[in-house]
Amino acid sequence: MKIVIIGSGVAGLTAGAYLAQAGHEVTILEQNQRPGGVTAPFERDGYRWDLGQLLVEGLGPDEPLGLVLADLGVANQVRLVKDDRGYVFPDFAIKNPKDYQGIDWRMKQLAQRFPEDRQGLARYWRDYLRFTRLMTFARRADNTAGLENTYWKIRLYLSLLPFLRRLKWNAQQFMDSYFSTRQLQCVFISILADFFTPPSQFPGLGVFTLNAEASFEKRVPKIIAPGAETLYHYSFLGGISTLVDALAGKIEQFGGQILTEKPVTRIQVQDGRVQGVVVGKDQQYPADVVIASGGAKETFLKLVGETLLPDEFIQKVKQQPLMDSVFMVHLGLDFDPSEYVHGPVTYFYGTYDLEDAIIEASQGIYHGGEKGFVVHIPSLHSPEMAPGDHHAMTIYTICPDHLAEGNWQERKEAYADQLIGCAERYIPGLSQHVHTCHILSPEEFRKITHLEHHAFGGLAPKMNTPRVPHQTPIQGLWFVGAQSESGGGVNSVIPAAWKVAKRIASA
């Protein structure tokens, strides 16, 4: 088959790598100057930073993402290191001990600080182990067939029984059932800010997924309880763009091509079936199959057109709950800040009122970093990402895609100084060691992604909201990427795009 893929983010590259290996004629059209989308690196003055996801879950050889990369033949082309993240709150921090103290060290540390919730922590830990076992069975069911598949599905169902009455609970209800103090609740749900999803709108059981103990302590064993296997978090040595390079190389190895600076202006449809795409004014690329990644509204309302799609489908596209954006400052430093942070990734929170902070941001009110930010220092494990003995640091925080008052272009310099100032409270003298500084506001991200609304991570994982299906009403037209997966992220979009490619190849 002749296959055209719109967009060279990791979803498009994953689908392209699989289909090229399967013998199909693959052409990827990228509107920017280099492939990768938001997983392409940002490079200036000898420094290199990542724009997208910082830690990626499940890249081990027997883990979901690792199995996909192995199937694509690129697992041995990327270098990985297990990583964990640190959390700093207004009046305490969660730090893993220098000497390993077991898989439940975090529960013990929290019980000492919040003795009134000691029993709730014990119940949470029991349920966390149960949920980890449930997810282990789900992965095994997903990777087996026949009688073995039936066996794992039965075990999956039995593991789900203790959670049935809480399936429709939101994250705030979930936290209220365990803990009485807002500070302790925030330990488990603060990362929802990254998803632009208030606790009252996030599915409760998802809290366990966001709190994999291996993400706080990389030394935990693979099996944390009978039948319960944890997934680790990883950093790409050299940056996540090394994965982009590996996937692009695989596509070209099997005769596929990636064409840059090729903005698609129309998806051609005739009699309900895709015919190909048009680039620019009239450059045509005929295709049997078109796989679109990127913005759902841009793809279906503009490139296809509403008149060619069912009303029900159009409503799903229009009602998708998108995340908002991030304000990101890339710094080149002439000193080593490692003594002030928890390895490459540290989350700093300035408020315990998560619900109101997220709602305010969705209303166009930017907190300037006062309510939280993240510090990422990839050069701590990838020294090649900074010159000499310097370091590459990224500070970012969630923010509205559009401000309620003013605009990003006129305010970004002042906001960058404010964000650096927030980080300097924890990293003394930071502003005195800045060798280079580059600012990416939502306006710059909209230019990179060519979207009217920049959604960092794609779809917000809110309860009871529609999602655009991968297989569209147009025969031969498929949709992948961050806006096709709730919660987005590399560990969601790559397996999904891989499964879509397998469906196309087997049709």
The model's pLDDT over 276-292, given as tens digits with 9 standing for 90+, comes to 999 999 999 999 999 99
Contact of 494 with 485, CB cutoff 8 Å: no
Compute the average pLDDT of residues 91-97: 90
Compute the average pLDDT of residues 147-157: 95
328-363 burial string, b = 16+ CB within 10 Å, else e? bbbbbbeeebeeebbbbbbbbbbbbebeebbebbbe
Percent of the chain with pLDDT over 90: 92
pLDDT class for 54, splitting at 50, 70, 90? Answer: confident
Burial of 24 from C-beta contacts in 10 A (0-12 / 13-18 / 19+): buried
Does 18 have pLDDT greater than 70? yes
pLDDT class for 53, splitting at 50, 70, 90? Answer: low
Compute the average pLDDT of residues 349-365: 94
DSSP bridge partners of 80: 236
pLDDT class for 83, splitting at 50, 70, 90? Answer: very high
Cβ within 8 Å of residue 216, ≥6 positions away: 84, 85, 87, 94, 96, 106
pLDDT of residue 37: 85
pLDDT of residue 212: 94
Contact of 246 with 78, CB cutoff 8 Å: yes
Does 72 have pLDDT greater than 90? yes
pLDDT of residue 157: 95
pLDDT class for 486, splitting at 50, 70, 90? Answer: confident
Compute the average pLDDT of residues 45-72: 91
pTM: 0.94
- Residue 429, SS3? coil
pLDDT of residue 52: 67
Burial of 243 from C-beta contacts in 10 A (0-12 / 13-18 / 19+): buried
Percent of the chain with pLDDT over 70: 100
**Residue with the larger pLDDT of the pair 38 and 336:** 336
In tens, the pLDDT along 369-417 reads 999 999 999 999 999 999 999 999 999 999 999 999 999 999 999 999 9
Compute the average pLDDT of residues 467-478: 96
Compute the average pLDDT of residues 301-310: 96
Report the chain's mean pLDDT, rounded to a whole number: 95
